[in-house]
Amino acid sequence: MQSMQYRHKNSPAPKKFKVVASARKVLLTIFWDMEGIVHIEFLGQGTTMNSERYVSTLRALKGGLRRVRQDKVKDVVIQHDNARPHTSRQTQCALQQLELPTIPHPPYSPDLAPSDFFLFPLLKKHLKGNHYETDAGVEADVRSWCRSQTPEFFADGMRKLLQSWRLCVGRDGGYVEKS
């Protein structure tokens, strides 16, 4: 590569910058309602979210619902997007078995997932500029931030979801821009 650089014979050698490994990503799966977080988990490094993994998450969610919303377990309706792990036959069977009904998600409407248009942008804003030595550090900060949010914060996200759904229904399931 050095021979490909244009320079004079007496020019100093170009500075080489130390290559730093890029930041690893941590995948967060979170279920929340108007009162707060119901279930939160992080996907381990090198693990892929597939139907089998998502079914395991749904089982953990059902246990979390029994612990934190024992009086409202029967009132729960899941809203998730059309990602393959969410729509697979294995997942659909598990949702039936666990008695977790879902709201159908219109195709091509990514802005109807409240975690995407409400929760994650605010969480990313909180995390921006922070540097973590380990994945556990990121996870601890995310959990701490989630616990610090009030029920009114989560209720606001659900109100925004209602607004987005009304727009979507008004457009016969058409794409809804971010509000």
Q: How does the average pLDDT of the chain come out, rounded? A: 85
Is position 86 within any domain?
yes
- Tens-place pLDDT, residues 40-63: 999 988 888 999 999 999 999 999
Count the neighbouring beta carbons within 10 Å of the beta carbon of residue 85: 17
pTM, rounded to two decimals: 0.77
Task: Domain count for the chain, please give it.
Answer: 1
Domain of 155: which CATH number? 3.30.420.10
- Mean local confidence (pLDDT), 10-33: 75
- Integer CA distances (angstroms), 127 to 74, 130, 141, in order: 35, 6, 8
Checking if the pLDDT of 2 tops 80, the result is no
Distance separating alpha carbons of residues 100 and 76, to the nearest angstrom = 7
Task: Please name which of 20, 23, 22 lies closest in space to residue 132, comparing C-alpha atoms.
Answer: 23
Q: Which domain holds residue 129?
A: 24-170
Strands (E), 46-158: none
Tell whether 140 is covered by a domain: yes
Encode pLDDT of 79-136 as tens digits: 888 889 999 999 999 999 999 999 877 776 666 777 888 899 999 999 999 988 889 9
- 165 contacts: CB under 8 Å, gap ≥ 6: 112
